[in-house]
A = this chain, B = another copy of it.
Amino acid sequence: MKSGLTFLVAAKRCEIAELRQLALTSALVNVTGRLVHGLQRERGLSNLYLGSQGTQFADMLAQQVRTCQQTEAELRACFDSLDTDTVRQGQGARLFSRIAYVLQGLDALGGLRERIAALAWSTGQATDAYVRLIAGLLAVVFEAADSASDPEISRLLVALFNFMQGKEFAGQERALGSALFASGRADAAGQQRLLHLIDSQERCLQVFSEFGHPPVAELWAASQAGATLAELERLRRVLCTAAHGSPLNAQLSQTWFDCCSRRMDRMKGVEDRLALDLLRACEDKIAAATRELESFHALAPRPGRDADALSFFNATGAPDTPAQGYGHQLERSILELVQEQARRLQTMGEELDTVRASLNERKVIERAKGLLMAHRQLSEEAAHKTMRQMAMNQNRRLIEVAEAVLAMADVLPHSPP
């Protein structure tokens, strides 16, 4: 018959298995980040190539495509190594579903490249295609963050996801800016989108700073404080303040691209550091949990079991009162260990709820934005701007406005007003 000790051990083994799964997922996230980085660069070069009517950048683009193909092969190998036969509980279905979507996108990448090479698609079409594929890749990272059951690792994944998302907005800014300069003429709609992308990336980087380990946040702050950012801000000003229809210096297209690329390469460095923190956190936690598990194996039910057992009813605390500071492991009773484990899991659950609240906020805001876009036929920027305006007018947080929008869903008109 299985005893309390059996389940104490089983619970610990579950924790370890979850941590191992997280370590594997973190490795997957790392390769995903490298492919995203490569595709971001490929997108930018494709825009330059299309913008020059195929007269420039063909070699650089071809070389970047080869780099991406190598990373894609690595990511596919990662996917292949995922154990799809042994079924994962928890968020498995959602992660696999996101991967299925990404694989459809990777299968389509060859066709996209052919159309770009043949100048058959516009810069807008090409950008949208890369944006969609990268969004699919980032959704894999989001599921990984959402599925973590350890609060510290969840914090790091939230930081990493937001950093990667912020970097993607920076990448879209690079592509859009390249296309705007290359077109040689200022465009009010493009300027609006650019400002929206700058705003969005700043919000993401803010969340990253809150959730990442302080040294990484400092690393990012330090890498920002250079000439690149000043140059970028100057070019942003040139792009965004030019009157609609006035000429832009098309030569700045390459300058803009290089400046943005330097910044994005630095971002990749910070991202790699974040991924390293994540991997180390997983390893440390696996080691600690394994030591605890080993100490459990040294335990055995004691003699005088019944008298001992009765302390269940005398114990000072139910499993949810705060820890009292126990003595050495071997001197403790199984009951004490069981209570301590229950308390610790409960505390972890509460911390996890707090961390995941930030992911939930993101989901709620995205859902509200989607609703506004569908019901009022707004663009993403316009929907976001509407909600921000409501928040400012009503002196409320964006998340509160988003919740109010969703609560109104049933009464919103289904066709545009």
Chain A interface residues (CB < 8 Å from chain B)? 1-18, 21, 76, 79-80, 82, 84, 87-101, 103-105, 107-108, 110-112, 115, 125, 128-129, 132-133, 135, 139, 149, 305-307, 309-313, 318-322, 334-335, 338-339, 341-342, 345-346, 349-350, 353, 360, 363, 366-367, 370, 374
Check A96 against B1 for contact (C-beta < 8 Å).
no
Check B104 against A11 for contact (C-beta < 8 Å).
no
- Interface centre among A9, A87, A112, by most chain B C-beta atoms within 10 angstroms, is A87
Check B350 against A5 for contact (C-beta < 8 Å).
no
Partner of A10 from the list B17, B96, B128, B139 (CB cut-off 8 Å) is B96
Q: Which residue of B lies closest to A86 (CB)?
A: B86
Q: Which residue of B lies closest to A80 (CB)?
A: B2
Check A4 against B367 for contact (C-beta < 8 Å).
no
Q: How would you classify the secondary structure of chain A's contact residues: helix, strand, loop or mixed?
A: helix
Min distance, Cβ A337 to any Cβ of chain B, angstroms: 9
Min distance, Cβ A47 to any Cβ of chain B, angstroms: 15
- Interface centre among A89, A341, A366, by most chain B C-beta atoms within 10 angstroms, is A89
Check A112 against B13 for contact (C-beta < 8 Å).
no
Residues of B within 8 A of A84 (CB): 2, 6-7, 9-10, 13
Check B7 against A79 for contact (C-beta < 8 Å).
yes
A349 to B147, CA, bound (A): 12
Check A93 against B345 for contact (C-beta < 8 Å).
yes
Check B320 against A370 for contact (C-beta < 8 Å).
yes
Check B338 against A100 for contact (C-beta < 8 Å).
yes
Check B108 against A312 for contact (C-beta < 8 Å).
yes
Partner of A103 from the list B7, B88, B341 (CB cut-off 8 Å) is B7
8 A–B contacts, CB within 8 A, in A order: A3-B103, A18-B92, A89-B90, A100-B342, A104-B335, A107-B305, A115-B310, A321-B370
Min distance, Cβ A165 to any Cβ of chain B, angstroms: 15
Check B111 against A309 for contact (C-beta < 8 Å).
yes
Check A338 against B104 for contact (C-beta < 8 Å).
yes
Partner of A322 from the list B104, B306, B374 (CB cut-off 8 Å) is B374
Check A94 against B306 for contact (C-beta < 8 Å).
no
Given contacts A108-B313, A305-B107, contact A87 B7 (CB under 8 A): no
Residues of B within 8 A of A95 (CB): 11
Q: Which residue of B lies closest to A17 (CB)?
A: B87
Residues of B within 8 A of A11 (CB): 92-97, 100
Min distance, Cβ A361 to any Cβ of chain B, angstroms: 12
Check A319 against B93 for contact (C-beta < 8 Å).
no
Min distance, Cβ A384 to any Cβ of chain B, angstroms: 15
Partner of A101 from the list B4, B105, B349 (CB cut-off 8 Å) is B4
Partner of A93 from the list B14, B334, B360, B366 (CB cut-off 8 Å) is B14
A91 to B309, CA, bound (A): 27
A287 to B346, CA, bound (A): 34
Min distance, Cβ A366 to any Cβ of chain B, angstroms: 7
Given contacts A93-B11, A96-B11, A345-B93, contact A350 B363 (CB under 8 A): yes
Check A17 against B338 for contact (C-beta < 8 Å).
no
Residues of B within 8 A of A345 (CB): 93-94, 97
Min distance, Cβ A311 to any Cβ of chain B, angstroms: 8
A311 to B115, CA, bound (A): 13
Partner of A306 from the list B92, B110, B320 (CB cut-off 8 Å) is B110
Check A15 against B101 for contact (C-beta < 8 Å).
no
Check A100 against B309 for contact (C-beta < 8 Å).
no
A91 to B110, CA, bound (A): 41
- 8 interchain residue pairs of minimum CB distance: A90-B90, A89-B89, A7-B100, A11-B96, A10-B84, A14-B92, A4-B103, A17-B87
